[in-house]
Amino acid sequence: MSTAVNPPQEVKPYRTELRELSRLAIPIAIAQGGQALMGLVDTLVVGRAGTSALAAVGLGNGLFFAVSGFGMGLMMGFDPLLSQAIGARQYARARALLWQGGWMSLFAGVVLAALLMVSPVLLPLAGIGAAEVSGAHDYLLWRAPSLPLMLAFLTMRSYLQSTAFTRPLVVATVAANVLNLFADILLVFGGADLPAYFGPLRAVPAMGVAGSALATTLCTALQLGIVMVSVRATGKTEGARPARMPVWTDLAQAARVGIPIGLHLGAEIGVFALAGVLAGGLGPASVGAHQIAISFASLTFTVALGIGNAGSVRVGWAVGAHNTPQARVSGFTAFAGGAGFMALGGLVFALFPNALAELSGAPADVVPLLIPLLMVSAVFQIFDGVQGVGAGVLRGAGDTRFTFLANMVGHYAIGLPLTLLLGFKLGLGVVGIWWGLCAGLVTVAVALLWRFHRLSAGTLRPLEA
């Protein structure tokens, strides 16, 4: 009687894994950083329109991501399903999931866009001035239509990441950033001062805050169009044609994975949006400093998110192939890469805060508040990177609920009380608010690193096993 012995599982050395992770992470990080760069450009352009306009964009942008964060997380429910399907070489299944992601983005995008339109009514309750509330409403009126488009783009991004075909993401990001720069300047300030050879563009009116939102919406549409063409031209599969109508069992499965991610992102983005609202109660200068500092911090964080997304894909591939030891190596390599990059970002914030403040074009009353916020950001960079990567690698492993619980405890049970204590009770203002945010990030980072260590020490199984 013979006993079947499973062949040993191949586990790549850390150096090899780092090289392969980098090959996947760099284009994803460029795409992620490009998204943040558009937000930074919006802030820099609008900042030259005055403190009130800058505050309105900060509030509107904060509300947009507070509401859209749930939808973004919902779409990320397809990430582990797609990467694990590719890891198991089930390419037709991955294509079918892509179609269901399109339907999910439509359903969720329309509902959340409607919710977004009514969200500015809450701002007066936080003591926000009428001018800033009006500006935030104008911003969201033109930004809300981009929400279903953005969610559809995330679906396409998940599919392209899982197949390691990331070039279209870079092309879409570069094209959108070029358009965003010119569209921002044109739509915010109008075309009246352009030379005669610009022709009809000189008739474009100055839209102010609304122009910034419209520019972002146009760029989102451009990005979606580019990746849709790329997805349509690639990934052909043999056999049965995937269902193009909603498959409710697939949507329900993705929702079970995605809802905790959506709640986690909603909790994380929500606490930063709440910080912006609290800063708004301290005056336009405080919320302006908060918005600029968040824009700089988001630029580095989105690179860490790109590394986390690459780690999610590589962990998902290993889990789909039933190779837990490789998943562990992939996950810890991603942690190290994210922490290393964010350490460099922290050094830049710590060494060059005045140069960054000058680059931002911040009004004179904002600069004294902005420089201390950049120093706080320098402190929490590594922890922000670890928690961003941790969410990604746990997502690849199919574990999404713990990340939500960690964010609730870290940000709301620890970070928010410290924010209120330091910012208001002890009178540290917007700087105290940011130290509270820092404490929450540290807590979440430690929890996610521990969770992946514990899970990967056992056996990781595919979600569709």
Report the alpha-carbon distance of residue 249 to residue 445 in Å, rounded: 34
Is the per-residue pLDDT at 206 higher than 80?
Answer: no
Report the alpha-carbon distance of residue 85 to residue 464 in Å, rounded: 9
Question: Which DSSP string do the residues of 375-444 spell out, in sequence order?
Answer: HHHHHHHHHHHHHHHHHHHHHHTT--HHHHHHHIIIIIIIIHHHHHIIIIIS--HHHHHHHHHHHHHHHH
pLDDT at 421: 92
Is the per-residue pLDDT at 453 higher than 90?
Answer: yes
Task: Give the pLDDT mean for 145-154.
Answer: 92
Question: Which DSSP string do the residues of 228-247 spell out, in sequence order?
Answer: HHHHHHS---SSSPPP-S--
pTM comes to 0.77
pLDDT at 27: 87
Is the per-residue pLDDT at 374 higher than 70?
Answer: yes
pLDDT at 438: 92
What 3-state DSSP class applies to 5? coil
Q: What are the tens digits of pLDDT across the range 243-288?
A: 678 778 888 888 888 899 888 888 887 787 788 778 877 878 888 8
pLDDT at 235: 58
Report the alpha-carbon distance of residue 212 to residue 219 in Å, rounded: 11
Is the per-residue pLDDT at 2 higher than 60?
Answer: no
- Of the segments 61-70, 123-132, 248-257, 270-279, which one has the largest average pLDDT value? 248-257
Q: pLDDT band at residue 289, thresholds of 50, 70 and 90?
A: confident
Residue that wins the pLDDT comparison between 299 and 112: 112
Residues in contact with 343: Cβ distance below 8 Å, sequence separation at least 6, in sequence order: 381, 382, 385
Q: What are the tens digits of pLDDT across the range 306-365?
A: 899 899 999 989 998 889 999 999 999 999 999 999 999 999 999 998 888 888 777 777
CB 57 within 8 A of CB 42: yes
Task: Give the pLDDT mean for 153-167.
Answer: 88
Q: pLDDT band at residue 178, thresholds of 50, 70 and 90?
A: very high
CB 294 within 8 A of CB 57: no
Q: pLDDT band at residue 237, thresholds of 50, 70 and 90?
A: low
pLDDT at 126: 65
pLDDT at 280: 75
Is the per-residue pLDDT at 53 higher than 50?
Answer: yes
Q: pLDDT band at residue 449, thresholds of 50, 70 and 90?
A: very high
What 3-state DSSP class applies to 349? helix
The share of the chain scoring above pLDDT 90, in percent, equals 29
Report the alpha-carbon distance of residue 321 to residue 397 in Å, rounded: 12
Residues in contact with 425: Cβ distance below 8 Å, sequence separation at least 6, in sequence order: none
Q: What are the tens digits of pLDDT across the range 80-106?
A: 889 888 888 888 888 888 889 889 999
pLDDT at 140: 87
HSE (side-chain half, CA atoms, 13 Å) at 51: 15
Task: Give the pLDDT mean for 375-383.
Answer: 90
Is the per-residue pLDDT at 422 higher than 80?
Answer: yes
Cα first-last separation, the chain? 29
What 3-state DSSP class applies to 205? coil
Task: Give the pLDDT mean for 141-164.
Answer: 89
pLDDT at 1: 40
pLDDT at 236: 54
Q: pLDDT band at residue 242, thresholds of 50, 70 and 90?
A: low
What amino acid occupies position 77? G
Structure token digits, residue 256:
């079970």
Q: pLDDT band at residue 152, thresholds of 50, 70 and 90?
A: very high
CB 109 within 8 A of CB 149: yes
Residue that wins the pLDDT comparison between 175 and 46: 175
Task: Give the pLDDT mean for 404-421.
Answer: 92
Residue that wins the pLDDT comparison between 71 and 6: 71
